[in-house]
Amino acid sequence: MSRKVFRDAVHDMIILHRHDHGPECAPVNWGDALILDLIDTPQLQRLRRIRQLGPAAKIYPSAEHSRFSHSLGTLHLAKRMMEQVLIGGQTRLAPKEILAIKVAALFHDVGHGPHSHAFEHILPDLPNHETWGWRILSEPGIPQTLIQRHCERLAIPLKQFMADLQDISAPSRRTNQLSGRAFISSQLDADRMDYLLRDAHFTGVAYGQFDLEWLLHSITVRPVDGRPRICIDLDKGPAALESYIFARDHMYRQVYDHKTVRALETLLVHIFGLIDWIWTLEGQPPPATPVELITFLDQARQGNIPTTDAFLALDDTVVDYALGRWANLVPQTPPQGELRLRCRMFCHRQSIYRRLTWSMPSSIGNQKQLTFGFAKTTENMEQNALDLGMSEQPQATDLIHDPELMIRVERFFREHGETRIPTPQEDGKSLEIPLRLLARVDRIHRSPYAHLQYNTQGEEPIYVITQEDMVQPAEQVSELVHFLGQNRRRLARVFVDPRVVTPIRHLASERLGPWLR
């Protein structure tokens, strides 16, 4: 059987089959020819030019891997998960369902913009990457043409196939079948397993490592409330499951929410805010703005959702080129000079944003925030977390834990967003810039596991099979999973342009003085 092999740094070999049907074709390989054709579309190839971790490459120099390699890895792990649940007839997945899951896995990140998640915040009311992804997959274009052609070849009703794809992306119907979404977007899915291993590998940290092979080997299917669910057999994989959740917690702490990564994302958001500000002041975009950016931003500024073609014209190369041009701009106006300075800060990693520090109230123990360090029992874990992160004496910290203070801080910066702050310029003069382009409240709501205690209407738990052959949520069986899921991190930082820390602190002290340090 003719095969296409992709060599991969994480999974070694990712194999797809050109001859994808017939009695000799394994169920998980059925329809692979469609996958191979979709891989070669411009829409998916664009992901080669989108870094997986956005600005994080400026902190972790080897983190230059792309959304494209992650998409292939997610496809590969989705196939392996389906292969495992089909062993021994644990569940039934029709060939067209398997193919829909593979297409959804391959395209799950196709809606990401330049510099990944940061792009979703450059202007208000832009669609998120899931919305862009569905538009790319469902609107007339090459992917839709290929899907239609292969559906005819494989005798699949196109309308039903697209409905299956949409249900995986945003499930709207309850059935007695195993949901395809469980393989792509759940608490134990191919997406998370791949990005943890891939991001850990390319950042050079060990935090995201877990025993993938044993975790996959432990996957099975059991009915829960009359519906089949993916489960982990604890006789095989308790340590593998715990290490997977533990790895996710560590990667968020040490990589995804790294203070400098978040500072650079804030700077990038501010740069696009400056472009919008300059456009409003001067009636046109800054000089040297690429036409692709002009088209996209012009549509968004007019209150319209940009077209899919306008979105697909953007990638890291377009934005990085624009940032480089603006960093070497000969400014004709003071706002253009400010844009040049910010772009130099980003491109050359200079004058990274500062963080305001706070004196945290001592009476916030009811959140049971998780800081650093773990103990062997739940009781000791919680006490250690409280001792480390919330001592009786107020401490100076850049992290806001108190939810009431978060609301106060966000309200202050929102209400004073248009307040002009005199900002030093490269020529020694000063330019009055709106506060919203100099400071940003960065909220982080994280948990490595969505605990049933607070997630009753959200994600389903990871179900495990106990030694007594009972199916239970993981947090009811594992103390570590219970602790990691129970302790959500509801934090916020305030990032501030280093040139104006003092005037912003002075302005904020009128309303936030008791907490500022």
How many other C-beta atoms lie within 10 A of the C-beta of residue 123?
A: 17
Dihedrals phi, psi of 28, to nearest 5 degrees: -75, -15
Same domain, yes or no, for 366 and 496? yes
pLDDT digits (tens, 9 = 90+) for 354-378: 999 998 755 444 444 433 333 333 4
Of 352, 367, 390, the residue at which a domain comes to its end is 352
Same domain, yes or no, for 306 and 427? no
Q: Which token pair is 256?
A: 């995804």
- Residue 113: is its pLDDT beyond 50? yes
Same domain, yes or no, for 160 and 123? yes
Please, which pLDDT band fits residue 194 given cuts at 50, 70 and 90? very high
Same domain, yes or no, for 147 and 279? no
pLDDT of residue 447: 81
pLDDT digits (tens, 9 = 90+) for 127-162: 999 999 999 999 999 999 999 999 999 999 999 999
Closest CA to 210 of 242, 244, 187, 238: 244
Same domain, yes or no, for 180 and 87? yes
Query: Which of these ranges, 5-14, 383-392, 461-470, has the smallest mean pLDDT?
Result: 383-392
Same domain, yes or no, for 500 and 361? yes
- CATH number for the domain including 331? 1.20.1250.30
More confident: 261 or 372: 261
Same domain, yes or no, for 26 and 143? yes
- Residue 88: is its pLDDT beyond 80? no
**Percent of the chain scoring above 70 in pLDDT:** 89
pLDDT of residue 207: 82
Q: Would you say the C-alpha torsion 46, 36, 96, 146 has a positive or negative sign?
A: positive
Summarize the confidence of residues 201-205 as an average pLDDT.
95
Closest CA to 171 of 102, 75, 104: 104
Q: Which helix (H) or strand (E) holds 260?
A: helix 259-282
Please, which pLDDT band fits residue 278 given cuts at 50, 70 and 90? very high
Same domain, yes or no, for 332 and 374? no
Query: Which of these ranges, 47-51, 250-254, 412-416, has the smallest mean pLDDT?
Result: 250-254
Tell me how far apart the terminal alpha carbons of the chain are, to the nearest angstrom.
Answer: 68
Closest CA to 253 of 66, 385, 67, 74: 385
Summarize the confidence of residues 60-89 as an average pLDDT.
94
Cα–Cα distance measured from residue 306 to residue 301, given in angstroms and rounded to the nearest whole number: 9
pLDDT digits (tens, 9 = 90+) for 404-430: 999 999 999 999 999 999 999 999 999
Residues 6+ apart with CB under 8 A from 169: 104, 130, 133, 134, 181
pLDDT digits (tens, 9 = 90+) for 438-450: 999 999 888 888 8
Q: Are strands 489-496 and 439-446 parallel, antiparallel or unpaired?
A: antiparallel
Residue 218 included in any domain: no
> What is the number of structural domains in the chain?
3
Provide the 8-state DSSP code for 3. Answer: E
Same domain, yes or no, for 289 and 170? no
Domain housing 272? 259-352
pLDDT of residue 486: 76
Residue 455 included in any domain: no
Same domain, yes or no, for 74 and 142? yes
- CATH number for the domain including 18? 1.10.3210.10
